[in-house]
Amino acid sequence: GARNLLLLFIAVLTATVLWAAFDLRSFPAEFDKARSGPARYVFDDLLNPLKYVIPAIILYDTCRTRRQLLIALLGLIGLTTAYALLVIKTMPLAVLFDDSDFLRHRHRIDRDTGLMAIDMSMVMAAGFWGTMCALRCWRTWLPKCGLVAAAGAMLLALGLCHSRGGYITWAVLGILFGVVRWRAVLVAAPVVVVAVFAIFPSVHERLTTGLDSQTVTGDASTDWHSVTAGRSTRIWPPVFEQFTESPLIGSGRRAILRTAAYDKILETDGVVPDHPHNAYLELLVDAGILGFLPAMCLYGGIAVISIRLFRRARDPILVAVGGTSMACVVALMVASLGCQSFFPTQSTLGFWAAWALALRGRKDTCRNQAPKAPPLLQPARVPYVMSTRG
């Protein structure tokens, strides 16, 4: 099932890119990827995204033992920790206390880490909860201290990213983990929120920006233009209007640049981004409903598998793999409301790897379950223990 959905999703991406490749004249003159011809464009918008899926395929095929799963999981934690340390090195700690400092230094994250601040915040939110899941894989204190330190670095980097979407994603993941398995998280959540707001006032200011704006009459109201950074008023309406013109098959890759939506956004905003800052809307306008449905089935299926593995598995390594995968897929689906893309990107490289590990863990779990015996001869249920060879 998952393999077929992945192939169908790749087919959707291929079809949308080829559609745009045969219509390069519709791109604006300043779009560099379309200037060098169809071959260069296909390489940039098709082959480049697919390369981020290749490590996941390799991990799925090679991780056959508990030891291999654990090593791969530690590799993902190490990758996220390295990103976190880069952010901490790049951004001054004063950002946690003063919004204006972040505006002066925000470009450093893009320049020094390779990811935009909003992408980095999503990675940090998922990485924190994935690292917390791995704590149960060891009984000795030294590895646990290392994981706690890594999680702390990710949490600090999340704060330095100064992204409202990242804060919300982290909170949603915490609630989900509390509902699914860790009830203590729900109990501690109010205390954590109050402490964060008291110690780091910039977090509270960022979260409440636009929520208590004053109207001309003096009444408090929500300024959605400020809350969504202009997306809901200048970008999303023209893009949604373009989707309604071709709802079934969409308008091809980069539709926001190739259709009438470009001129409408340019007229009101002066600058047109290369994506609509909403992954759901991007997928709908590019691939239509026929492309949207298999993509949602793929990500939804991964979410269900991950939640079941995290909740029901008895092996702590499988619990950690399931929890990490759940954190990654839910983080992407939540963060996609304000940015991101469901097509593979550099920021989701580790996500695809985590999903591959969860699918491998689920497959081996199902394969190694004891076969059913006749009712009168059925033995006692034996907990699953993954092979330790290799």
Per-residue pLDDT tens, the chain, 390 aa: give them: 788 999 999 999 999 999 999 988 888 877 777 777 888 889 999 999 999 999 999 999 999 889 999 999 999 999 999 999 999 999 888 878 776 666 677 788 888 888 998 999 999 999 999 999 999 898 889 999 999 999 999 999 998 888 888 999 999 999 999 999 989 999 988 898 888 888 777 777 777 765 655 554 555 555 555 555 556 678 889 999 999 999 999 999 999 999 999 988 888 877 888 889 999 999 999 999 999 999 999 999 999 999 999 998 889 999 999 999 999 999 999 999 988 999 999 999 999 999 999 999 988 776 655 444 343 333 334 444 454 444
Please state the three-class secondary structure of 316-337 as a single string: HHHHHHHHHHHHHHHHHHHHCC
Domain extent listing, the chain: 2-366
Largest CA distance in the chain: 79
Quote the pTM value.
0.88
Around Cβ 223, how many Cβ atoms within 10 Å?
15
Q: How far apart are CA 261 and CA 78, in angstroms?
A: 41
Whether the CB-CB separation of 179 and 173 falls below 8 Å is answered with: no
Which residues have C-beta within 8 Å of that of residue 166, sequence separation ≥ 6?
118, 120, 121, 122, 124, 125, 158, 335
Mapped onto helix, strand or coil, the DSSP state of residue 383 is coil
Backbone φ, ψ for residue 220 (5° rounding)? -80, 140
Between the CA of residue 264 and those of 238, 240, 255, 258, 384, what are the distances in Å?
6, 12, 13, 12, 58
Distance of CA 320 to the CA centre of its chain: 18
3-state secondary structure of 102: helix
Read off the tokens for 120. Answer: 């980095």
Angle between helices 99-113 and 117-133 (to 10 degrees): 80
The two structure tokens encoding residue 270: 């002066």
d(CA 305, CA 297): 12
Q: Is 221 helix (H, G, I), strand (E, B) or coil?
A: strand
DSSP per-residue letters across 269-335: HS---SS-S-HHHHHHHHHHHHHHHHHHHHHHHHHHHHHHHHHH--SHHHHHHHHHHHHHHHHHHHH
String of DSSP letters for 7-64: HHHHHHHHHHHHHHHTTGGGS-TT-GGGTT-HHHHHIIIIIHHHTTTHHHHHHHHH--
Give the Cα separation of 244 and 224 in Å (integer).
Answer: 23
Measured between its terminal Cα atoms, the distance across the chain in Å is 28
Cα atoms found within 13 Å of the Cα of residue 247, Cβ hemisphere only: 3
Q: Do 279 and 118 touch, CB atoms closer than 8 A?
A: no
Contacts of 173 (CB under 8 A, 6+ apart): 125, 126, 129, 327, 330, 331, 334
